[in-house]
Structure 1
Amino acid sequence: MHVGELRLAVIGDELAAGAGDPKALGWVGRVCARTSAPDPMTVLTLAVPGETTTALGSRWEDEVARRTSPEADNRLVVALGRADIAAGLSLARSRLNLANILDVAEQRRMPAFVVGPPPGATADADQLADLSAAFGDVALRRRVPYVDMYTPLAAHEQWLGDLAAGDGLHPGQAGYGLMAWLVLHTGWHAWLGLPDDTV
């Protein structure tokens, strides 16, 4: 059972901030609404639209350090987007960027949880599938929970319909609801040391 204040820093791109959600909750807000912590839980979303893992790797440590507390249970949620593909980053570079983030988090004794990139209309499907698998492998090697957003959503009718109804990049309420469901059912509560009341 978890004891003490939970302080979650969520780093990522505009999907972490819920861009395109008319309810302004995104998947982060929906997940937190379904997370019952016995003590206070503070969620700090530090998002930069269109950010690559290279840019994320260069900024996250300083931004997160300002928001942690020695009295709190400080944790890191790494919400990865699709920008590495558009920027032409190699898989090896993307892997290394995530590995560096997770290794620093471990040195800082901040348990990490990684959420992979979801499908999007503008990203090459094969490239995105490979990127998601690469991120998953990096997390697995470090025994960090990884939520594969790509595989279950790539052919999901509701997800694709939600994207098509918008700009093809950002989901709406239904899409963010699907993302939240995947997070909640991929070890979220166990990672936080909380009972799972979603089952």
Structure 2
Amino acid sequence: MLDDVRVCFAGDSFVAGVGDPHALGWAGRLTATAIRAGVPLTAYNLGVRRETTPMIAARLIAECGPRLPADVAAGVVLSCGVNDGTRENGTVRVAVPTATAAMRELLAAVHARGWRALVVGPPPVDDDAHNERSAALEQSFATVCAAAGVSFLPVHHALRSNEVWMREVRAGDGAHPGAAGYAELAALVEPTWGAWLDGFADGGAAGRHVPG
């Protein structure tokens, strides 16, 4: 029986839960659900505002290493990509091939350390052109995860048609929802999250892939 599960939630401002007045975001809600269910979980939030996939890849191992020692059941939940598709000074911050390569390298580094991984796709914002770029990147991430045998959950299209998420995004800063929106995202991720956590007890190394 597992007695020490440690998970790093790594990514951007959506992982950090920006906009949630309760400071939980979706990661905090998933953590609370797991602990209430009896999972001996310690969770670390490593979400950083404005960070792109290459930026997250550059810091991930150094930040996760001290938090995921070799003698525990260790995993990384990763969600990023929205900032990659942001246009600044007339150009996209990170092109899809570059972001995809960073994700591939990141997952290889996580696997090399024996950590399990779960990747959650980029959520939508109040900008149709930006959303199209995020949707394309989500598909690319899905392909990378499938090749690596890593659990992947697409959320972009489901949230884009989610009235609560989009209403709160529009009412806020145009990107981040409030508490109810994050609750919707947490509910969307929870079944995959629960199955992924079960994989620790089963001794699985990579979890299961959820087709995009």
With the length of structure 1 as denominator, give the TM-score of the two structures: 0.91
Mapped partners of 2:183, 2:33: distance in 1: 11
Query: Which structure 1 residue ranges, 4+ long, deviate > 6 Å from structure 2?
Result: none
Query: Is residue 99 from structure 1 mapped to residue 99 from structure 2 by the alignment?
Result: no
Q: Which moved more, 1:174-183 or 1:139-148?
A: 139-148
Shift of 1:104: 0.7
Q: How does 1:77-96 map to 2 (within 5 A)?
A: 77-86=77-86, 87-96=92-101
Mapped partners of 1:38, 1:26: distance in 2: 21
Shift of 1:145: 1.2
Q: Which moved more, 1:86-95 or 1:53-62?
A: 86-95
Tell me if the contact between 2:81 and 2:137 (Cα under 8 Å) persists in the aligned partners.
Answer: no
Structure 1: segments with no counterpart, 5+ residues: none
Give the number of the structure whose residues are more often helix, by fraction.
2
Residue in structure 2 matched with residue 47 of structure 1 by the alignment: 47
Mapped partners of 1:31, 1:144: distance in 2: 19
1:193 to 165, 174, 198: 198
Mapped partners of 1:80, 1:96: distance in 2: 13
Residue in structure 2 matched with residue 118 of structure 1 by the alignment: 123
Q: How does 1:1-199 map to 2 (within 5 A)?
A: 3-36=2-35, 38=38, 40-86=40-86, 87-122=92-127, 124-185=130-191, 187-193=192-198
Opposite residue 62 of structure 2, the aligned amino acid is D
Q: Which moved more, 1:42-51 or 1:133-142?
A: 133-142
Mapped partners of 1:116, 1:56: distance in 2: 15
* Percentage of identical aligned residues: 33
Structure 2: segments with no counterpart, 5+ residues: 87-91, 202-212
Mapped partners of 1:160, 1:68: distance in 2: 35
Q: Which moved more, 1:40-49 or 1:79-88?
A: 79-88
Mapped partners of 2:78, 2:66: distance in 1: 17
Q: Secondary structure at the match of 1:42?
A: strand
With the length of structure 2 as denominator, give the TM-score of the two structures: 0.85
Opposite residue 98 of structure 2, the aligned amino acid is R
Mapped partners of 2:196, 2:163: distance in 1: 30
Aligned residues: 193
Tell me if the contact between 1:147 and 1:182 (Cα under 8 Å) persists in the aligned partners.
Answer: no
Tell me if the contact between 1:3 and 1:38 (Cα under 8 Å) persists in the aligned partners.
Answer: no
Q: Secondary structure at the match of 1:189?
A: helix
Mapped partners of 1:38, 1:177: distance in 2: 20
Tell me if the contact between 1:15 and 1:81 (Cα under 8 Å) persists in the aligned partners.
Answer: no
Mapped partners of 1:113, 1:162: distance in 2: 26
Opposite residue 8 of structure 2, the aligned amino acid is A
Q: Which has the higher contact order (CA 8 A, sep 6+)?
A: 1
Q: Secondary structure at the match of 1:124?
A: helix
